[in-house]
Amino acid sequence: MNVVAYRPTPEEYSYTFGGRAPVAKVRPGTVLELFTEDCFAGRVRTVDDLPSVVCEFPFLNPVTGPFHVEGAEPGDTLALHFVSITPARDWAMSSTFPHFGALTATHTTAMLHPPLEERVWRYDLDLARGVAVYQARNSDYRVELPLDPMHGTVGVAPAAGEVKMTITPDAHGGNMDTPELRAGVTVYLGVNVEGGLFAIGDGHGRQGHGEVCGTALETAMNTVVVVELIKGVATPWPRMEDDLHLMSTGSARPLEDAYRVSQHDLVTWTSSLTGLDTLDAYQLISQAGEAPVGNVCDTNYTMVAKVAKSHLLGPDAYDAVHARLRALGAEYLSSR
């Protein structure tokens, strides 16, 4: 087992997908132990640290990477299996941010309202008990919420020579902000440039559906990922797989287009796996499919289309790479 650990210095954080030289080359099959900083680049540490004061645009949402995967070429697919996602601190921060979020005027949903109040919340994380503590700012109200660690951001260098801020989700991945991206999940990303150049960041202790106020329980993460390369198979939009489900994503505006992209990809993907014709697959997904909301606050919105494998007869996706990586991850975990 080839295990590589990497912890970036602040100077090594990336704030874009594309436009950056890789921080390292990795061979397919490598187990990567990564540290990721939170979306505030670690600068919001108390409820008095207003993000608009302590953070500086565009130095938001740093990612760890990019990593060059040896042998990856346009038309291939990267498989990133998330073995574990563990908060690296016993606290997480959340906040409103001026003109950002789903229930506020924004840069593009431009209105004449002044921004909502900028307010910061601090959550205590109890990893042993698996809970995060919400503490209201204007009352004594406290309540425990289950931890459900995930990464908001994972992606590769975009196609067509584009460089995108890490806060933007699109066909290359990016800031999809879906709670489905948990430990145990394999993410499939289409390769657009030599080496793929994937990066990971934006750890959340947990997140509601849509990330309605614009931020989740933002925290640094210690994350273990197995990197695999699938040659000669293209993936049009990011996909995910866990032991029980296949998932497609779509990131676009308006939100129905994100829904359309994700459902369209799941229909065509399952059609190809099952041998059902397109309309028969459309019908099956219409009845068996789920549609977990990713984000409704970022520069593109993200929807996930999801179906239980138990409803699909046919060969495993991507030649069963998920099962192999899952096994490798289990082996890694048992070896620690």
Contacts with a second copy in 147-186 (CB under 8 A)? 159-165
Site string for a second copy, 222-241 (x = CB under 8 A): --------------------
Q: How many chain residues interact with a second copy (CB under 8 A)?
A: 89
Closest distance between a second copy and the C-beta of residue 335, in Å?
Answer: 34
Nearer to a second copy, 21 or 110 (CB): 110
> Which residues contact residue 283 at a Cβ distance below 8 angstroms, ignoring those fewer than 6 apart?
none
The window from 43-51, 66-74, 82-90, 250-258 that contacts a second copy (CB under 8 A) reads 250-258
How does 178-214 read in b/e, with b if 16+ C-beta sit within 10 Å?
bbbbbbbbbbbbbbbbebbbbbbbbbbbbbeebbbbb
Closest to 268 (Cα-Cα) out of 321, 307, 324: 307
> Residue 80 or 100: which CB sits closer to a second copy?
100
What is the chain's alpha carbon radius of gyration, rounded to the nearest angstrom? 19
Contact 135, 142 (CB under 8 A): yes
Site string for a second copy, 98-137 (x = CB under 8 A): ----xxxx-xxxxxxxx-xx-x-x----------x-x-xx
Quick check: bond before 87 cis, omega within 30?
A: no
C-alpha–C-alpha distance, residues 142 and 269, integer Å: 44
Nearer to a second copy, 134 or 332 (CB): 134
In the bound state with a second copy, the residue whose beta carbon lies nearer, of 11 and 117, is 117
Pattern of binders to a second copy over 253-282, x per CB under 8 A? xxxxx-xxx-xxx-x------xxxxxxx-x
Residue 244 interacts with a second copy (CB under 8 A)? no
What's the min distance (Å) between Cβ of 267 and a second copy? 7
CB of 324: closest distance to a second copy in angstroms? 26
Closest distance of CB 118 from a second copy, Å: 10
Q: Work out how close the CB of 333 gets to a second copy at its nearest, in angstroms, rounded to a whole number.
A: 28
Task: Pick the stretch among 24-32, 64-72, 213-221, 223-231 that binds a second copy (CB under 8 A).
Answer: 213-221
The single-letter code of the amino acid at 126 is D
| 14 versus 30: smaller Cβ distance to a second copy | 14
Q: Which is nearer to a second copy, 11 or 277 (CB)?
A: 277
In angstroms, the CA 167 to CA 154 distance is 10
Given 194, 311, 316, 332, the residue binding a second copy (CB under 8 A):
311
* Footprint of a second copy on 16-35 (CB under 8 A): 16, 18-19
Q: Are 130 and 146 in contact (CB under 8 A)?
A: yes
Task: Take residue 96 and report the two structure tokens written for it.
Answer: 């409103």
For residue 212, state whether it binds a second copy (rule: CB under 8 A).
yes
Cβ-Cβ contacts under 8 Å for 253 (sequence gap 6 or more): 300, 301
Instruction: Give 294's contacts (C-beta < 8 A, 6+ positions apart).
Output: 169, 176, 177, 178, 179, 180, 210, 249, 251, 258, 301, 302, 303, 304
Please identify which residue in 64, 178, 186, 207 interacts with a second copy, judged by CB under 8 A: 207
Q: Does the bond joining 254 to the residue before it have cis omega, within 30 degrees of 0?
A: yes
